Structures are given as C-alpha cells and as structure tokens.
C-alpha cells in the first residue's frame, strides 16, 4: 500500500510541478519574474526527481534498504537544487517588487547559498551510507534555514507593504515547508513516522509554485 500511494503522490507532484514550470516559461510573455519563476519550478521538480524517482523504484522492487547509495546521491542533488530554488525565489522577489540596490542583501543570500552547497558536498555527510551522521545534517541545514527565513521575511514585508494579494501567502508556504522539514532532519532516524512530514512539505512547495502560476495567469493576459 505504501508503494502504491507514495508512487502516485510523488508522480503527480513531479509531473505537475515540472509541467507548471514549463507552462510559466512559455506563457510569461516576456515578463522576467514569471519566466524566472517557471525555471524555479522546473529546477524544483527536476532536482526532487533525483531522489523521488529512485525512491519510487525502490519501493516498487526490493525495498529502500537495497538502494541506500542511490537514494543518498539523490538527496545530495536535491539539497543543492533546493538551495538554487531559494536563490531564484529571492530574485523573483527583487523583480516583483522592483528592488534596486541593497547589494549587501544579495551578498548575504549568495554567501548562505554557497556555504550550504559546500557543506552538502563535504564527505563527512556520508550521503551514500545508511549511517549518515545527524550532526552534519544539522550543519548543512543551518545556512539553508537562514536563507529560508530571510526569504520568508522579505516576502511577508513586501506583500504587506504593496498590498500584493496574489503573493500574500508566499511567506506562509515557505514557513510551512521548513516547519515540516526541520523535524524530519532532526528526528526521522529515531522516529521513522516523522518521514511522513515530507508529504505536507511537498504540498507546501506545490502551493508555492501554484501561487506564481495563478499570478501569471492574472497578470500576463
């Protein structure tokens, strides 16, 4: 039953997010923020597929334990693409609200992203091992959480300041995604049921993408 339900959920998610991303790229009509948002969605779906497709295959065959290395490699790729996702979302914020200057803010975003990616690539993560250390899971997610928090604050303040009803819940989707993700990082190894939180986390990301898509449909007529 888990194999069937998870395969259906993951397949619908990946196909939907990538499809919406392509539709946004093609339908942006020269609008830079929505074209960027489309690429952001495609990168999200493509990056997640490196982990979810092997997971689907494992669940439908001999089980997760036989694909530890492949799943670990997929997690590494996903960790990097998710970091890129937030950098692009920051750029969407700058374009949507016509933010000029503030180079220090851009520098902070890039520094956090680079530190996160470098930490992800350290061999101490032991991505291919079934006994990956929790400590490095925490280390690599500290700059990631800071990056996410920064984007949350930026979208919350700007949507409120500009009365942007179409993006008014963007901050909430990001908050929810981290709210569901952090317990998985901390406790999934000792409490396997915590892994179920990845489902609402995934839904929060899908919501993020749909916010951009429906805004494009309204603004690029």
> Is residue 188's pLDDT more than 90?
no
Domain that holds residue 113: 2-219
Tell me the pLDDT tens digit for each residue of 22-39: 999 999 988 999 999 999
Q: For 94-107, what is the mean pLDDT? A: 94
Q: For 99-106, what is the mean pLDDT? A: 92
52's enclosing H/E stretch is helix 32-59
pLDDT for res 154: 97
**Tally of domains within the chain:** 1
Q: How far apart are CA 106 and CA 112, in angstroms?
A: 10
Q: How far apart are CA 61 and CA 57, in angstroms?
A: 6
Q: For 92-117, what is the mean pLDDT? A: 96
Residue 54 sits in a domain whose CATH number is: 1.20.1070.10
How many Cβ atoms sit within 10 Å of the Cβ of residue 131? 7
Q: Are 83 and 117 in contact (CB under 8 A)?
A: yes
* Residues 6 or more apart whose Cβ sits within 8 Å of residue 34: 24, 27, 28, 212, 215, 216, 219, 220
pTM of the model: 0.94
Q: For 107-115, what is the mean pLDDT? A: 98
């Amino acid at each position: 039953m888990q194999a069937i339900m998870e395969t259906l959920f993951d397949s619908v998610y990946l196909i939907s997010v990538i499809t919406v991303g392509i539709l946004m790229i093609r339908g942006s009509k020269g609008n830079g923020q929505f074209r960027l948002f489309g690429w952001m969605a495609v990168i999200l779906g493509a990056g997640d597929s490196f982990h979810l497709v092997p997971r689907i295959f494992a669940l439908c065959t001999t089980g997760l334990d036989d694909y530890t290395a492949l799943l670990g490699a997929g997690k590494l790729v996903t960790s990097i693409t998710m970091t890129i996702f937030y950098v692009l979302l920051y750029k969407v914020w700058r374009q949507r609200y016509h933010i000029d200057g503030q180079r220090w803010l851009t520098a902070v975003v890039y520094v956090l992203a680079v530190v996160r990616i470098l930490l992800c690539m350290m061999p101490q993560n032991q991505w291919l091992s079934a006994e990956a250390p929790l400590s490095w899971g925490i280390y690599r997610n500290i700059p990631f959480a800071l990056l996410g928090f920064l984007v949350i604050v930026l979208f919350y303040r700007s949507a409120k300041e500009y009365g942007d009803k179409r993006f008014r819940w963007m901050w909430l989707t990001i908050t929810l995604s981290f709210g569901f993700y952090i317990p998985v990082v901390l406790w999934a190894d000792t409490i396997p049921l915590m892994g179920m939180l990845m489902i609402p986390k995934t839904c929060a990301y899908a919501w993020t993408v749909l916010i951009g898509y429906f805004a494009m449909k309204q603004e690029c007529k």
